[in-house]
Structure 1
Amino acid sequence: MNHRSIRKFRNVKLSTTQIETIVRAAQMASSSSFMQAYSIVGLTDPALKHELREITNTPYIEDNGHLFIFCADLQRLTIMGTEQEKLDMKIMLESSAFYQIAVIDAALAAQNAVLAAESLGLGAVIMGAVNRDIRRLDEMLGLPEYVVPLFAIAIGVPDQEPEVKPRLPLEAVYFENRYASFTEQRERIEAYDRDMNHYYQARNENNRHAIWSRKHIDMLKMKFPLGDMTEYLRCKGLNVT
C-alpha cells in the first residue's frame, strides 16, 4: 500500500546478495504451466548504460543501484529439443498466445522483484522506455530468437520521498458479475480526475495542473510507430499481429 516509483537514487551499488535475493524472489512468482518464460539481464557495463540513457533521455537508467532488464523468453523451452521437435513446436512457440504467456510471466516476476526490493529498504521504478530503440537494445543484450526485451527495473537506495499517487477508486476497477455502465464509469473517472488534479498541485515535486483522463487521451491520440514493433517481433520469430 506504500508503493511509490523512485526515480532518484543515491550513488550506492546493490550488493551481490541483494541482487541475488531480488532475482530469487522474482523466480518465485507464479508461472503459466511452470514455463518460467522470461529472463532477466543485469546491465552493468557503464558504456551500455550511458548509451541507453541517451536513447531514452532517462537519467535513472544510468544512475541507480542496479538495472534489471526483463525479457520474454521462449527460446529456453526449445534448447533440449531435437531439430524435428523444434519444427513441431514452431507453430505454438510463434503464436500470439505463447508470447502473451511469456509477457505475463515476466510481469509477475517483475512485481515480485519490486516487492522484494522494497522489503529490503530499496526503491524501484519500472520503465518501458528502454524499448524506444528496441533493435539496438536487442543487439546490446545479444538476444537470440524468441527472446524479446520488455521493460527495465531500476533499483537502488532512494534519494527522494515522493507521495503515494492516488489510485482509481475501487468501484472503477472491481465489479461483481458484470462490467459497470458507461455512466457509472464516467462519474467515477470524473471524481478521480479531481483527486489527481489536487494531488499534482499539492505534491512536493513537479507541481502542475493535470488530470488522469486527459493525460491518457492525449497520449493515445499520438501516432507511435507501432508497426515497427510488429516487424521487430516477427524478426524474432514471433508471428504476432
Structure 2
Amino acid sequence: MKNNTVEQQLNHRTIRAFKPTTLSKEQLTTLYSVASHTPTSMFMQQMSIMHITDPDKRAAIREVSKQPYVGANGDLLIFLVDLYRNQQIRQQKGKDDGRLHTADIFFQGVDDAIMAAQNVITAAESMNLGVVPLGSIKNDPQKIIDVLDLPKMTFPVLGLQIGIPDQQPQLKPRLPLKFIAFDNDYHREIKLADLADYDQEVTTYYDLRDANRRIDSFTNQIAGAKLDHHYTKRDEIMKVLHQQGLCTDEEI
C-alpha cells in the first residue's frame, strides 16, 4: 500500500550538497509549525529549534561536525532538548524543579526533539527541499553549547541542514525487513551468512554510486573502526549532561 507520502519516504535520500539559496520566511514558518504540531510526551513540549545564521557560529559548528556542508549553503537548524523553559515556568509559579533533572524527563525531551526533527524532514522533502540530519553536532557537545550560549537544562541533540538540493544521490539500500521487524518475540539468532546478500547489495551500491566510491559492506562497517575502542568527545556526553543539570538521578 502506497500513497504520495509513503512514496516520498521510501525514496528518501540524504542530501549533502545544496544550492546557494536560503529558505524563505514562509518556508521556515511552515517547518517550525510542523515541528510544533509533533506529538509531545505528556504535553510538556520539551524541545526548541535554533536557526543559525551567524557566519561565525556556522563555521564553529562546521568545525565540530567535521563536514564541509554543515553551515555552508542552505539553512542550519539545531534541535534542542529544552527543559529550561519548563523549569522557569515552575519556578515562577513558586514550585521547585521537581522531576526535571531526571533521566526519564530528559529522554521525554529527546523523544520530543527527535520526532519534531523527523516531521520537519518529511515536510521539507514534500516541499522539494533536501535535508541531511547532523548527529555530528555531538562530536563535541560542550563546544556546541558554548557556541550557542545555551543555558543549563538544554542540550543540542540533532542538527538539520536544509536547502535546495544540488545533487541526486542514488538510493542507499537498507536492511531487509526480516532483520528489523519482529512479531512478539525478538529474533536473537543472527548469522553473518544470512546477511551475505545484503552485504553484496551494499557493496554494489558503493561501487556504482557517483560520489565517494569504495569497496565496503554493511557488516564490515559494523566490525570496523566506527565501533572499535577509541576516545572521542562523544564519550563526554554524560558529563556534559550533568553539567547542564540533566540526568542527575543516575545514582538511583
Q: Which TM-score band (shorter chain)?
A: over 0.9
The answer to whether structure 1 residue 199 and structure 2 residue 209 are counterparts is no
Residue matched to 2:153? 146
**Counterparts of residues 1-241 of structure 1 (less than 5 Å):** 1-82=10-91, 85-87=95-97, 89=98, 92-183=99-190, 186-218=192-224, 219-225=226-232, 226-238=234-246, 239=248
Question: How far apart, in 1, do the equivalents of 2:101 and 2:61 lie?
Answer: 28
User: How many residues are paired up?
Assistant: 237
Contact 2:52 2:58 (8 Å CA) reproduced: yes
Q: Percent identity between the aligned chains?
A: 33
Q: Which amino acid aligns with 2:134?
A: M
Residues 189 and 29 of structure 1: is their aligned pair in 2 closer, same or farther, counting only changes over 3 Å?
farther
Cα RMSD, aligned residues only: 1.7
Contact 1:234 1:240 (8 Å CA) reproduced: no
Question: How far apart, in 2, do the equivalents of 1:227 and 1:157 lie?
Answer: 34
Shifted more, 50-59 versus 197-206: the winner is 50-59
Contact 2:57 2:148 (8 Å CA) reproduced: no
Question: How far apart, in 2, do the equivalents of 1:217 and 1:39 lie?
Answer: 36
Question: How far apart, in 2, do the equivalents of 1:54 and 1:178 lie?
Answer: 43
- Which ranges in structure 1 are unaligned for 5 or more consecutive residues? none
Q: Which amino acid aligns with 1:228?
A: E
Shifted more, 218-227 versus 161-170: the winner is 218-227
Deviation at 1:25, TM superposition (A): 0.9
Deviation at 1:190, TM superposition (A): 2.8
Q: Which amino acid aligns with 1:114?
A: I
Question: How far apart, in 2, do the equivalents of 1:4 and 1:227 lie?
Answer: 29
Question: How far apart, in 1, do the equivalents of 2:238 and 2:131 lie?
Answer: 29
Does the residue aligned with 2:157 lie in a helix, a strand or coil?
Answer: strand
Residues 187 and 95 of structure 1: is their aligned pair in 2 closer, same or farther, counting only changes over 3 Å?
farther
Q: Which amino acid aligns with 2:11?
A: N
Question: How far apart, in 2, do the equivalents of 1:207 and 1:231 lie?
Answer: 38
Deviation at 1:227, TM superposition (A): 4.3
Question: How far apart, in 1, do the equivalents of 2:240 and 2:107 lie?
Answer: 16
Deviation at 1:198, TM superposition (A): 1.1
Q: Which structure has the highest helix share of the two?
A: 1
Contact 1:172 1:189 (8 Å CA) reproduced: no
Contact 1:169 1:188 (8 Å CA) reproduced: no
Q: Which amino acid aligns with 2:157?
A: L
Question: Deviating runs (4+, > 3 A) in structure 1?
Answer: 185-188, 224-227
Q: TM-score if structure 1 supplies the norm length?
A: 0.92
Contact 2:19 2:164 (8 Å CA) reproduced: yes
Deviation at 1:24, TM superposition (A): 0.8
Deviation at 1:205, TM superposition (A): 1.4
Question: How far apart, in 2, do the equivalents of 1:19 and 1:12 lie?
Answer: 13
- Which ranges in structure 2 are unaligned for 5 or more consecutive residues? 1-9
Question: How far apart, in 2, do the equivalents of 1:95 and 1:102 lie?
Answer: 11
